[in-house]
Amino acid sequence: MVKTRLWGACALLSATAFTAVPAGAQTLTANKAGYVGTRGVDYFTFTNWYDGLFADAKISGVEIVQQGNRVATNGDVRLSATPGQWDPIGRMVERKVDPRTGAVDVLLEYPEHKFRYRIHSEPRGRQFAVSVILDQPLPATLAGKAGFNLEFKPSAFFHKSFVMDGEAQGIPLHPASTMVAGGERLPSSGRDVGAGAEPLPLASGNSLVLAPEDPARRITIKSANGVHLYDGRNQADNGWFVVRSLLPEGRTGKVVEWTVEANSVPGWVREPVIGHSQLGYAPEQKKVAVVERDPNDTSGSTVRLVRIGADGSTRVVSSGAAKPWGKYLRYNYSTFDFSNVKQPGLYRLELGPVKTASFRIAPDIYADAWHPSSDVYLPVQMDHVAVNEAYRVWHGDAHRDDARQAPVNHEHIDLYRQGPTTDTKFKPGEHIPGLTVGGWLDAGDFDQRTQTQYAVIRQLVDTYERFRPERDTTLIDQQLRKVEIHVPDGKPDYLQQIEHGVLQLVAQQDAVGFAIHGIVEPDVAQYTHLGDAASKTDGKIYDPSLKVGEERGNRSGTPDDRWVFTSRSSALNYGSAAALAAAGRVLAPLNPALAGRSLQLARKIWAEEQSHPPFTFSHGNTTGGPLVAEQFGAAVELLIATKEPQYAAAVQRLWTEVGARTGFVLDDAIRALPFMPPTFGSAVRTSAAAWKANYAKSFPRPNPFGVPIGEGGWAGNGQIMQAGMMDYMIHKAFPDLSDGSLAFTALDYLHGTHPGSDLSFVSAVGTRSKEVAYGSNRADFSYIAGGVVPGALIIKPDLAENSEDWPFFWGQNEYVVPMSPNYVHLVHSAMDLLKEKRGQ
């Protein structure tokens, strides 16, 4: 974890030592990146903007980075005191920056209210001034609603206080605001009754000081317009503290102005981060630590590798000056190569007083790294079963009431959409039987996304066929709908997981005749459910003839059943066919009937889709990947399963159609090589060589970690693992083109050699790993062993963030199901490469 300290000082300064700040020491200045700041404090003004993809991601508007921690965001005009994830937010029209003064002007609007406003910010010595400017008076419909809000991350201020107009109060650890009836509430499937509620302010006044006792977190906000401090967590677990000023009625010009002063600790220097693998290293592999340092850090650069004895004794086995790499984002980087150290044992790295956690060098370093993902994470995500781990119930037998046909012409939450018809024999709202089996909960929420299902199945099958992981430590009983973690049942867990996913894909084909988009909660209130998935619904099929709350047998008058989105998509159908064909090759020892049915369905889907023009309905990420890529994958899996010429011909034809986009299907093409003619192999080799040549050029910007660190709204661990797996596959097919070492580079990155911190991004893997993540238990600030988070999210323009004190950032902390099987595959790839090196 990243700590802050006065680097190079003999001792930490006391709190009283921070009270006397030299005049001008915190003067704000503009920089070339488009924001203003001083040592230890930066202010962003709409360098990031909410894009609406998954609603409010807490990356927008005015933001404050204080002593390396982004503590405030969403500084903007909002229409409620504590807006939630799906509440409206202004649309940015234009942003202008004065590079000389650092002043920023942003024009925004709420078009549905015909309301435009401007946000202006500028540095004023040590203070940051931000104002709201109106050219036209506030619309009457927004009176008492529109206000300038700035949201503060609760975990940054836990165990601290605040002072409003001289009166001190404690900052609540748990939400306990006084609430008043009224306001809008989330629709909740008819299960809840009563009116909504809104929080009253914790305090109101003209001068607010947050954390006066902590110089690293002290922030002062003053406004003649008055400010109110709210706690948004009463309404939503992921809510923030909000400071707010209402916009006045009937006025134009500068209607609200604040001065903000986030304290900068004099002489503050961020403590170096020694990026390294928290898991450790195999003796034969390359071992490079990446040191991340504050630009103001002028201390020594000597890194020491220390061997730790069983009695606690230490001995320096390698040392030297870290090799400068240059600047990446906001920090300076250097590298320390200790590949020459091969002796097994326990080690740590040191730089001055900074010491990493211990890690191993061992021949079997990867042998059990994949176990938490296979033993815990995948079972926890299993839907339509009860999952137990020793004394702990992860969830009961969930969603026994699946599922109802989604309404037509409807755009839903989480990127689901239904077209103008159902494309099934079922009417909107009608129960579709047969779907209460198999599948995995997609991520930190509780939907089943079909594209996720077939991607996971294909990865599980590929791992099983290549590496044969026969580990058995989970009891899975489909008949009893029961899972017991850490209880062997005599069957390979990987085959049972494949079976579980296939059961859902087969059920979809039986229920409606083609692959559906997925099964998802009917409304936002149920979508935000945390905890036991079985308590989301009553488990009884909705019967409209019954009253809400009335139950008869297995039927209920409560419309809480999940919805099925069914607009036909050939991409989804091909993706499902690929997974079914793959599963048909491996399931026979476990379930021969299901294996035969899977291959039969895969053939049927292919033949049917080939008989008509494709269904091209597309929306978000729920309707499959590019059609030609999904079709190519199905052709490859059917070819491997059947060896039939018709599928070989399809592979050849589709490869030509892919053209310049061969990178999308290169992995599938490599897998098809043994079943295709030499001319195909030559073409694939050319594409593989091009991928290798252009690998580093694909990075958004150069970085010292050697992996493609994405800069979108979702962090890049997924593409980093894909790169590692691709390099391994190229090596296996064309050893002269690659040694496959990107597999190790990707694993080192996942295990802690990355920007921002040295934590392993795989929970419970490595000495220090992600222990606060966005899973179904995120409200407990906890984790699920074996889950892989998205990783370091680049907050524009230059901050790499992965919050270990706030789980609710989904773009950096949310587990998604495909990541864990990908990680398992990558670990097995590394083990296979090590066997090659050892001649085994």
The mean-pLDDT minimum among 192-201, 281-290, 571-580, 599-608 falls in 192-201
Q: Checking DSSP bridges between strand 241-246 and strand 269-270, what pairing results, if any?
A: unpaired
- List pLDDT tens digits, range 763-781: 999 999 999 999 999 999 9
Residue 139, SS3 per DSSP: coil
Q: For residue 830, give both structure tokens.
A: 């590394």
Residue 606: predicted pLDDT: 98
Taking only the tens place, the pLDDT of each residue in 69-92 is: 999 999 999 999 999 888 999 999
Tell me the average pLDDT across 492-514. 98
pLDDT of res. 183? 65
Q: Clarify whether residues 32 and 171 are in a common domain.
A: yes
Q: What is the pLDDT of residues 226-253, one digit of tens each?
A: 999 999 999 999 999 999 999 999 999 9
Domain contains 62: yes
Alpha-carbon span 687 to 196, nearest angstrom: 58
Q: Are residues 228 and 303 in the same domain?
A: no
Q: Once rounded to an integer, what is the mean pLDDT over residues 463-467?
A: 98
For residues 246 and 332, membership in a common domain is answered with no
Q: Are 226 and 205 in contact (CB under 8 A)?
A: yes
* Spatial contact of 77 and 50, defined as CB atoms under 8 Å apart: no
pLDDT digits (tens, 9 = 90+) for 28-61: 999 999 999 999 999 999 999 886 667 789 999 9
Residue 250, in any domain of the structure = yes
Is residue 233 in some structural domain?
A: yes
Angle at 322 between CA 320 and CA 328, to 5 degrees: 175
In a domain, 530, yes or no: no
Helix (H, G, I), strand (E, B) or coil at 649: helix
Domain that holds residue 185: 26-262
Let me know whether 253 and 279 are in one domain: no
Query: How far, in Å, CA of 588 to CA of 594, rounded?
Result: 8
Nearest-angstrom CA–CA distance, 700 and 510: 44
Structural domain tally of the chain?
2
Which phi and psi angles does 323 have, rounded to 5°? -80, 120
Residues 116 and 141 in one domain: yes
Which of 184-193, 350-359, 576-585 shows the lowest mean pLDDT across its residues? 184-193
State the Cα–Cα distance between residues 115 and 136, nearest whole angstrom: 8
For residue 456, tell me if it sits in a domain: no
Residues 840, 784: Cα–Cα separation, whole Å: 35
Question: Do 200 and 339 share a structural domain?
Answer: no
Each residue of 586-629: pLDDT tens digit? 999 999 999 999 999 999 999 999 999 999 999 999 999 999 99
Confidence check: pLDDT of 189 > 70: no
- Tell me what the mean pLDDT of segment 103-116 comes to: 97
Unique residue bearing structure tokens 């059961």: 503
What confidence score (pLDDT) does residue 661 get? 82
Residue 248: cis peptide before it, omega within 30 degrees of 0: no
- Helix, strand or coil for residue 56? coil
DSSP strand E in 338-385: where? 345-351, 354-355, 359-361
> What's the pLDDT score for residue 184?
59
Cα 396 off chain centre by: 25
Cβ neighbours of 267 (radius 10 Å): 15
Looking at the chain, the whole-number percentage of residues with pLDDT higher than 90 is 91
Q: Where are the beta strands (DSSP E) in 161-308?
A: 161-164, 167-170, 179-181, 197-199, 203-210, 219-231, 241-246, 253-262, 269-270, 273-275, 280-281, 288-293, 302-308
- Which token pair is 452? 């996720």
Place 663 in a pLDDT band, splitting at 50, 70 and 90: confident
- For residues 99 and 563, what is the distance between their CA atoms, to the nearest angstrom? 51
Tell me, yes or no, whether 348 lies in a domain: yes
**Cβ(396)–Cβ(482) below 8 Å:** no
User: Over the Cα atoms of the chain, what is R_g?
Assistant: 28
The reply to whether 97 and 65 lie within a common domain is: yes
Same structural domain for residues 215 and 322?
Answer: no
Report the 3 state secondary structure along 443-509.
CCCCCEEHHHHHHHHHHHHHHHHHHCCCCCCEEEECCCCEEEECCCCCCCHHHHHHHHHHHHHHHHH
Closest CA relative to residue 1, chosen from 749, 707, 769, 714: 769
Q: Does residue 12 register a pLDDT over 90? A: no
Pair 213, 284 in one domain: no
The pTM of this model reads 0.95
Q: For residue 468, with 0-12 CB atoms within 10 Å meaning exposed, 13-18 middle and 19 or more buried, which class applies?
A: exposed
pLDDT greater than 80 at residue 328: yes
237 and 274, same domain (yes or no): no
Q: Is residue 161 part of a domain?
A: yes
Residues 184 and 299 in one domain: no
Is residue 771 a part of any domain in this protein? no
Neighbours of 32 (CB within 10 A): 7
DSSP 26-55: T--EE-TTS-EEETTEEEEESSS---SSSS
Pure H helices in 303-431: 371-372, 378-380
> Are residues 338 and 318 part of one domain?
yes
If you average pLDDT over residues 298-314, what whole number do you get?
A: 96
Residues 711-753 have pLDDT tens digits of 999 999 999 999 999 999 999 999 999 999 999 999 999 999 9
What is the model's pLDDT at position 188? 52
Helix (H, G, I), strand (E, B) or coil at 398: coil
Position 26 scores a pLDDT of 78
User: What is the domain-level CATH number for residue 213?
Assistant: 2.70.98
Tokens 């199901």 locate to: 817
Domain final position from 262, 279, 306: 262
Alpha helices in 622-716 (DSSP H): 627-642, 645-658, 666-672, 678-694
Of the ranges 16-25, 437-446, 450-459, 812-821, which one carries the lowest mean pLDDT score? Answer: 16-25
CATH of the domain at 331: 2.60.40.10
pLDDT band at 511 (very low <50, low <70, confident <90, very high): very high
pLDDT of residue 185: 53
Rounded average pLDDT over 421-448: 97
* Mean pLDDT of the region 203-207: 98
Query: Which of 205, 231, 262 is the endpoint of a domain?
Result: 262
pLDDT attached to residue 40 = 96
Last residue within a domain, chosen from 314, 329, 361: 361
751 and 757 in contact (C-beta within 8 Å)? no
User: What integer pLDDT is reported at residue 2 of this predicted model?
Assistant: 40
